[in-house]
């Protein structure tokens, strides 16, 4: 049994004040008996206050990135240890980090290890670009991103690793992949690679999320697929009603 996970990636949106107001609404409207795990990944600047607010709530907090380094003279960076004071999870390898900040598979691999070292659950994002998809390279890109991103990474507990499949062409574009095709791709490509690294039992239990233009209107089509264990939501996680609408579809 894989527990559904709905994660909101706020990216560079919401001040601390806006973040607090948002989370208050979500807390009020969340079903306390829900079997869905809900994670919010705000900018670093809101983490401390949200952590205080969420202390006895079912809502989880994640970071959007961490440094691959542990500490030291790395101006502007935040370590896993710092993030772990407030967070349970960290998004790593997001396509925007890969595209705009030059993050390579090797760097992402170091970040996955840094996250684990500080007790954070890595949410490793993978996904092909439109060009890679159109030239038939999707499978080889996903294979490389998984194998290199997870090189020498240990995973004894499947609840402590999350994979997010986010086709780059579906992020923020309103275009989505067909739910059945994603499910088939997870079964054919992603889980077998995870099984090759950690064995069938662990691979069967690791949650694989879908991300890319998920909205309340299309969430059920993804979440009803047996291989899709939740969603990584960008744009729609910035509206309380849209985010709650998606969580309700996962219940």
Q: Which residues are catalytic?
A: 94, 166
Site for ligand PGA (CB under 6 A): which residue of 41, 214, 223, 244?
214
226's tokens: 């047996």
User: Bridge-partner residues for 90, per DSSP?
Assistant: 63, 122
> Closest CB to ligand PGA among 63 and 232?
232
Site for ligand PGA (CB under 6 A): which residue of 124, 213, 222, 250?
213
Q: Does 171 bind ligand PGA (CB under 6 A)?
A: yes
Site for ligand PGA (CB under 6 A): which residue of 122, 127, 212, 216?
212
Listed in sequence order, the residues at least 6 apart from 141 whose beta carbon sits closer than 8 Å to its beta carbon are 126, 128, 129, 132
The distance of closest approach from Cβ of residue 7 to ligand PGA in the complex, given in angstroms and rounded to an integer, is: 8
The distance of closest approach from Cβ of residue 174 to ligand PGA in the complex, given in angstroms and rounded to an integer, is: 8
The interface with ligand PGA within residues 7-36 (CB under 6 A) comprises 9
> Closest CB to ligand PGA among 87 and 171?
171
Query: How do 162-165 and 207-211 pair as beta strands?
Result: parallel
- Checking 197-205 for CB contacts under 8 A at 24+ apart, the result is 197/146, 197/147, 197/150, 197/153, 197/155, 198/155, 202/155, 202/156, 202/158, 203/158, 204/158, 205/2, 205/158, 205/159
The distance of closest approach from Cβ of residue 138 to ligand PGA in the complex, given in angstroms and rounded to an integer, is: 18
> Closest CB to ligand PGA among 26 and 171?
171
Q: Does 62 bind ligand PGA (CB under 6 A)?
A: no
No. of H helices and E strands in the chain?
12, 8
Stretch that binds ligand PGA, among 103-111, 184-192, 217-225, 229-237 (CB under 6 A): 229-237
The distance of closest approach from Cβ of residue 163 to ligand PGA in the complex, given in angstroms and rounded to an integer, is: 13
- Within 13 Å and on the Cβ side, how many CA atoms surround 13? 13
Q: Does 166 bind ligand PGA (CB under 6 A)?
A: yes
Which among 172, 233, 240, 177 has a CA at the least distance from the CA of 7?
233
Residue with tokens 């996903």: 142
193's tokens: 């690679």
**Rounded-to-integer distance, Cα 127 and Cα 139, Å:** 9
Q: Does 234 bind ligand PGA (CB under 6 A)?
A: yes
Site for ligand PGA (CB under 6 A): which residue of 23, 36, 232, 244?
232
3-state secondary structure of 157: coil
Number of residues that bind ligand PGA (CB under 6 A): 13
The distance of closest approach from Cβ of residue 149 to ligand PGA in the complex, given in angstroms and rounded to an integer, is: 16
Binding footprint of ligand PGA on the chain (CB under 6 A): 9, 166, 171-172, 211-214, 232-236
């Amino acid at each position: 049994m894989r527990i559904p996970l709905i994660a909101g990636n706020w990216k560079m949106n919401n001040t601390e004040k806006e973040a607090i107001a948002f989370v208050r609404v979500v807390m009020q409207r969340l079903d306390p008996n829900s079997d869905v795990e809900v994670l919010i990944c705000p900018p670093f600047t809101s983490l401390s206050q949200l952590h205080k607010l969420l202390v006895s709530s079912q809502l989880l907090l994640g970071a959007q990135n961490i440094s691959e380094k542990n500490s030291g003279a790395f101006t502007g960076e935040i370590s896993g240890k710092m993030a772990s004071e407030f967070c349970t999870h960290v998004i790593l390898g997001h396509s925007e980090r890969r595209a705009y900040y030059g993050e390579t598979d090797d760097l992402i691999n170091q970040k996955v290890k840094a996250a684990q070292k500080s007790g954070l659950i890595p949410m490793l994002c993978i996904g092909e670009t439109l060009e890679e998809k159109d030239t038939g390279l999707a499978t080889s890109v996903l294979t490389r991103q998984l194998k290199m991103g997870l090189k020498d990474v240990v995973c004894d507990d499947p609840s402590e690793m999350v994979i997010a499949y986010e086709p780059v062409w579906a992020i923020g574009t309103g275009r989505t992949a067909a739910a059945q095709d994603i499910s088939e791709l997870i079964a054919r490509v992603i889980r077998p690679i995870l099984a090759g690294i950690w064995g069938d039992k662990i691979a069967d239990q690791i949650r694989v999320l879908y991300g890319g233009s998920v909205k309340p209107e299309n969430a059920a089509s993804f979440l009803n697929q047996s291989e899709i264990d939740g969603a990584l939501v960008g744009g729609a996680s910035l509206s309380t009603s849209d985010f709650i609408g998606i969580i309700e579809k996962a219940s």
